[in-house]
């Protein structure tokens, strides 16, 4: 175990952060680390500790930090201007590329974050259907809006379809307009869509929910039921877009929704996200087509800004080269196999859940198909495991490995050594 030590400079920065930032951080990753720089698959903290990075900025740095081609594209754009609050060629070209790649995308509207994209997608679906309720799935993450923060990670497991707010400050009335179903329960989801069809403005789902792959037939049944009852189906692909395949999870699973949301990868590390969908629904962003009553108002100061657009375009260009997805899947499979091998050898009850580009361990002896299966995992053991991994120079979020094109054979070897050490540490502590 290499060990991680903190310099006085990093300790001082963390103290300064506590003075000016609630809980001492930005509200994202743990505030007990201050990153100084990143290059390729590695990051360094202010103390100089080096890590193999499976956090990847929570996903957008799929081709690695400070990629020279992205830097070149951004550097060429910066002297021309950073943002205009008007159309620009890079944003138009990026929209064209998204429409070519993503099956559901006839049109694209840019925003600056995945939270915005999800919020607008739900609003757009309600505008089109002229109905108000949204059906989502327990454990599904759809951003920081009031609707999105219902039953994301409820500590009290309510009866379906009751929604549970995940934050203070959400009006009680929001609960009445959110219907919650269990992910991967095909029969109940179809039943609930039929039961609430006359009130249902849209169904939003992560086609791959956090770490949970859809059971065979689940997405197909959602598509059939929503089409039968004329309810817009939204795929939240902020995470999965351009990660599972160039056309996202909808290409990977072969199911085309009415709308999708995109983020992370399409901005190449800069603030950019999008709503994409079919012409009929996206027309609600165009008052000349739908009139005042059907118009869905949307503006954003930085939406589609050219710096983010050129970074996203270059990232997407690189992902189209040289069997990028084959490489990422191979990397992920190797690490998943190592987790299963070493935890199994140590006699630790654990399930490796996910697909090769995005997965993690749930410490349980039960199969995991939905949020309640995830919730039942041993969170304390996961925290210990991740802590040992960090001490060994592996940086990852609490609940996933983001696999990137940037990860090398040397990274994988270091990761497997860390997994072996962490598994042995858990065995000794048992």
Q: Are strands 351-355 and 273-277 parallel, antiparallel or unpaired?
A: unpaired
- The C-alpha atoms of residue 202 and residue 193 are separated, in whole angstroms, by 9
Q: Measure Cα distances from 396 to 40, 151, 400 in Å.
A: 15, 24, 7
- The C-alpha atoms of residue 290 and residue 58 are separated, in whole angstroms, by 37
- The C-alpha atoms of residue 410 and residue 335 are separated, in whole angstroms, by 12
Of 314, 382, 327, nearest in space to 357 by CA: 327
Of 72, 405, 406, 94, nearest in space to 266 by CA: 94
What DSSP string runs through 120-187? HHHHHHHHHHT--EEEEETT----SSTTTTBSSS-SS-PPTT---BSSTT--HHHHHTEEEE-TT-HH
Of 354, 395, 401, 356, nearest in space to 373 by CA: 354
Task: Give SS3 for 366.
Answer: coil
Contact between 371 and 138 (Cβ < 8 Å): yes
Beta strands in 206-357 (DSSP E): 233-237, 259-262, 273-277, 351-355
Residue 264 among the catalytic residues = yes
Burial pattern 376-392, b for ≥16 Cβ within 10 A else e, equals: ebbeebbebbbebbbbb
Contact between 384 and 425 (Cβ < 8 Å): yes
Contact between 396 and 389 (Cβ < 8 Å): yes
Q: For the chain, percent helix, then strand, then coil, each to nearest 5?
A: 45, 15, 40
Residue 141 among the catalytic residues = yes
Q: Which of 177, 236, 360, 370 is catalytic?
A: 236
Residue 279 among the catalytic residues = no
Q: Which of 54, 120, 141, 196 is catalytic?
A: 141
Rg (the chain; Cα; Å): 22
Q: Which of 133, 264, 314, 400 is catalytic?
A: 264
Q: Are strands 178-181 and 394-395 parallel, antiparallel or unpaired?
A: unpaired
Q: Which residue has the tokens 């042995």?
A: 424
Q: Which residues are catalytic?
A: 141, 236, 264
């Amino acid at each position: 175990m290499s060990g991680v030590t903190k310099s006085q400079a990093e300790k001082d920065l963390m103290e300064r952060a506590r003075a000016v930032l609630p809980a001492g951080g930005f509200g994202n990753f743990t505030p007990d680390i201050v990153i100084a720089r990143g290059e390729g698959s590695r990051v360094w903290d202010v103390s100089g500790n080096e890590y193999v990075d499976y956090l990847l900025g929570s996903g957008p740095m799929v081709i690695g930090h400070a990629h020279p081609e992205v830097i070149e594209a951004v550097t060429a754009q910066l002297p021309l201007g950073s943002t205009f609050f008007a159309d620009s060629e890079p944003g138009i070209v990026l929209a064209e590329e998204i429409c070519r790649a993503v099956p559901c995308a006839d049109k694209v509207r840019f925003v600056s974050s995945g939270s915005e994209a999800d919020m607008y997608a739900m609003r757009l679906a309600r505008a089109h259907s002229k109905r108000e309720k949204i059906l989502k799935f327990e454990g599904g993450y759809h951003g920081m809006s009031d609707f999105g923060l219902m039953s994301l990670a409820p500590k009290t497991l309510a009866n379906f379809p009751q929604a549970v707010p995940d934050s203070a400050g959400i009006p009680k009335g929001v609960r009445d307009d959110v219907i919650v179903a269990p992910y991967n329960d095909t029969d109940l989801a179809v039943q609930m869509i039929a039961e609430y069809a006359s009130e249902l403005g849209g169904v939003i789902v992560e086609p791959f929910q956090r770490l949970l792959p859809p059971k065979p037939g689940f997405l197909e049944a959602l598509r059939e039921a929503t089409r039968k009852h004329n309810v817009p189906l939204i795929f939240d692909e902020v995470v999965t877009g351009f990660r599972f395949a160039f056309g996202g999870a909808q290409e990977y699973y072969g199911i085309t929704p009415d709308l999708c949301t995109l983020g992370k990868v399409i901005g190449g590390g800069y603030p950019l996200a999008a709503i994409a969908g079919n012409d009929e629904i996206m027309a609600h962003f165009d008052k000349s087509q739908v009139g005042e009553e059907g118009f869905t108002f949307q503006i954003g100061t930085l939406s589609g800004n050219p710096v983010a657009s050129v970074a996203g375009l270059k990232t997407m260009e690189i992902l189209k080269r040289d069997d990028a997805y084959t490489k990422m899947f191979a990397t992920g499979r190797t690490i998943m196999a190592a987790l299963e091998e070493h935890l199994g050898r140590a006699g630790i009850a654990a399930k490796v859940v996910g697909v090769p580009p995005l997965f993690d361990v749930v410490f349980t002896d039960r199969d995991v198909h939905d949020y309640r299966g995830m919730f039942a995992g041993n969170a304390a053991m996961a925290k210990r495991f991740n802590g040992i991994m960090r001490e060994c120079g592996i940086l990852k979020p609490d609940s996933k490995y983001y696999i990137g094109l940037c990860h090398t054979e040397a990274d994988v070897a270091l990761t497997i050594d860390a997994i072996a050490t962490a598994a042995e540490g858990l065995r000794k502590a048992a």
